[in-house]
Chain A
Amino acid sequence: MSAIVETRGLTREFTVRDGRRRRRLTAVDDLTVRVEPGEAVGYIGANGAGKSTTIKMLTGILVPTSGTVTTCGLRPVKDRRRLARQVGVVFGQRSQLWWDLPVRESFRILAAIHALPAATERARTAELVDRLEMADFLTTPVRQLSLGQRMRAEVAAALLHAPRLVILDEPTIGLDVLSKQRLREFLIAERRTHGTTLLLTTHDMGDVQRLCDRVLIIDHGRLAYDGDLVGLGRATGAERVLVVDLVGPSPDLTGIPAARHLSSEAHGLRQRLSFDAEATTAARVFAAVAERVEVLDFTVEEPDIEDVVRRIYAARR
């Protein structure tokens, strides 16, 4: 089967004006990746690492300086309009809705833009309105929507034509926990029912953990990691952290097998233990703790994305 995204030596340079001097900046540097249909890929990196530039080259917005890129079997710049029918893009910071018009009107215009037959338009709009719970604000002008509502409408707008490839650039930025959760559930369902390929950039580890089965990390325009999440944890040695709230004050919980005591607060009422997910499980660490003290509450903290990225970056230097 042919790849849905394939780049070879993809490179993009920009001219930056630095006071009076001009210098060349390489935003994407010799990137070679291949994404198969149906994959869900998290594309991660620090701000300015080249994520958005890559996406803009994949979709034909930006012209590469060198290298080749094929998306959905098409050459993005040359076949921009044909490609647009097969790709849906959500830029978390940009809107593709008509600001002054009701949400429903944007969907109608987009359906016309993508030449959806009337029956398809009706069915797909109904499906999206239902799954993204948009019925309450369909007739509201876009400018009056809350951020959570607007993001749902943006996602619906990008997915209205049931694209094969969905690219989300920071889709959950600024959303509250509930809105994030809803959006993720929707994307999971969309993948399941339509076999959509997903490529998303994010700073939110939750997005990656819940949505992606493959991770690409980019550092200064270069590919720094390509693999699954488990391997990422292994590669970085990033550890998970068990936080326990105890019933009474307690000395530091040292000597738990395969776990390391990190810190204690309030005379040991709250303690943090890190453990290597490869060597043990959260349940085993918890059981060992519960044998020694009475636990009131606990949470498990995942390594955050900045931390993972930092470790990957540090390992390369």
Chain B
Amino acid sequence: MRAMTRVYWRLLGAGFRRQSTYRLAALGGLVANTTFGLLKVAVLFATVRAAGGDVAGYDLGRMSTYIWLSQALLGSINLSGRTDIAERIKDGQVAVDFLRPLDVQAAEVTTAVGGALFALIPRGIPMLAIGGFVGMALPASPAAYPLSALSLLLGIVISVAAAYLVGVAGFWLVETRGPQICYMVVSGFLAGLFVPIQLFPRWLELTAQATPFPSMMMYPIDILAGRVGPAGALTLLAVQLAWLAAVGGLGQALTRAGRRHLEVQGG
């Protein structure tokens, strides 16, 4: 058990360090996040003002928190559906993954989570700094902070484990760019990246809640923005755990089934 912990700890570290070597990409992401954040400010602040200062529980302060938090998390939460595993299946490199005494899914997810955690530094902190500078509403209860940290971690893992599902579709399809692009469009929208899902029409909000996407981004933000209290936070955490079990279990099953289907590309 301890040896197993050590392995995944090392893989987490490897993902973290690998991400740290992509400095220019981090800078590019930061610029894009900031620009997109300012755009969201313009549109969403206008919406709040037009609604008379409050829309679906969002005043300007909470909207500011939502905007800068969602931008801060963008580098760490995988809403694009792009994964290493998809690439490795396509070029046959996945053979090497199967040569290791590891669970292929767990190893891939752990490494990706390591990278996501690193991304919080160059892409998350600056966004929070902007938010702090322009003003954000923060939760009243101190309990919200550890709860939101946990929720954020769950959000990252769920997003990575769900993107993994798109990747392993490659066992059957080889080229997964089509599904990945569809996934990217849907996931960002339903995760609440563009507007908070509470602003959706009721039917669409219910649809979103029936998917794992809000668990990736919307719920951690709801907790950290103080839109829900500690009791509501615990409910959201339970929902997140359920989705983690669902996408994780599905990933296990698909990996097992896909292996039987595997035809290593490129000899």
Contact = CB atoms under 8 A, between A and B. Distances in A.
A296 interface: no
A52 interface: yes
B11 to A, nearest CB: 7
A82 to B, nearest CB: 7
B44 to A, nearest CB: 37
Interface residues of A, number: 32
Nearest to A169: B267
Interface in A99-119: 100-101, 105, 108-109, 112-115
Given A56-B264, A94-B95, A98-B18, A81 B101 contact: yes
A66 interface: no
A298 interface: no
B17 interface: yes
Interface stretch (B2-10, B130-138, B207-215, B216-224): B2-10
A115 B5 CA distance: 10
Contact of A52 (B99, B102, B267): B267
Nearest to A80: B98
B102 A93 contact: no
Contact of B96 (A62, A77, A96, A141): A96
B96 A101 contact: no
Given A109-B11, A112-B10, A115-B3, A91 B96 contact: yes
A93 B267 contact: yes
A112 to B, nearest CB: 4
B151 to A, nearest CB: 29
Interface residues of B, number: 28
Which residue, B14, B95, B263, B264, has most C-beta atoms of chain A within 10 A?
Answer: B95
A305 interface: no
Contact of A82 (B6, B17, B101): B101
Contacts of B99: 59, 61, 84, 87, 89, 96
A62 B17 contact: no
Interface in A115-135: 115
A114 B98 CA distance: 14
B49 interface: no
B95 A84 contact: no
Interface of B: 3, 6-7, 9-11, 14, 17-18, 21-22, 92-93, 95-96, 98-103, 259-260, 262-264, 266-267
